[in-house]
Amino acid sequence: MPRLVNANPKYRLHKASGQAVVTLNGQDVYLGPHGSSKSRKEYDRVVSERLARGRQRPGENDNHRVADVIVAYLHFAKGYYTGEAGAAEYKSFKLVLRILRRVYGEEAVQSFGPLALQVVREAMVKEGWSRG
């Protein structure tokens, strides 16, 4: 039976190119010049992202809709924002997220980016929500 290892993948030298490399899920990720602080930071970033995904490849389990993320966030926020001031914050979040859900609720999370955020902002302005 194979031994299950709960350690991070190794930061190592790719001799042919002089680059630092790490293998994640059978795929090599080149990080920059071996031993440099830039490559160490890139290693930390790619390994952290992998751990945040539950050790899965990017895109393996990315079939969530924007509405799913909104529901999960509201569930978190209801417990986090407590007390009188927290209740007001929670109510404000619900108003903003209602517009987000109306405009992009059925879209895949992967397709939501800066341009979509501008569209949501414009929808808020049309609602009369703007600073003087």
User: In angstroms, rounded to a whole number, what is the distance separating the alpha carbons of residues 94 and 92?
Assistant: 5
- Is the same domain home to 29 and 53? yes
In a domain, 23, yes or no: yes
pLDDT beneath 50, residues of the chain: none
In a domain, 131, yes or no: no
What pLDDT shows up at residue 3?
A: 66
- Is the same domain home to 5 and 48? yes
In a domain, 132, yes or no: no
In a domain, 42, yes or no: yes
- Is the same domain home to 50 and 105? no
User: In angstroms, rounded to a whole number, what is the distance separating the alpha carbons of residues 125 and 34?
Assistant: 49
What pLDDT shows up at residue 16?
A: 93
What pLDDT shows up at residue 15?
A: 94
What is the extent of the structural domain holding 108? 66-126
What pLDDT shows up at residue 82?
A: 87
pTM (whole model) above 0.75: no
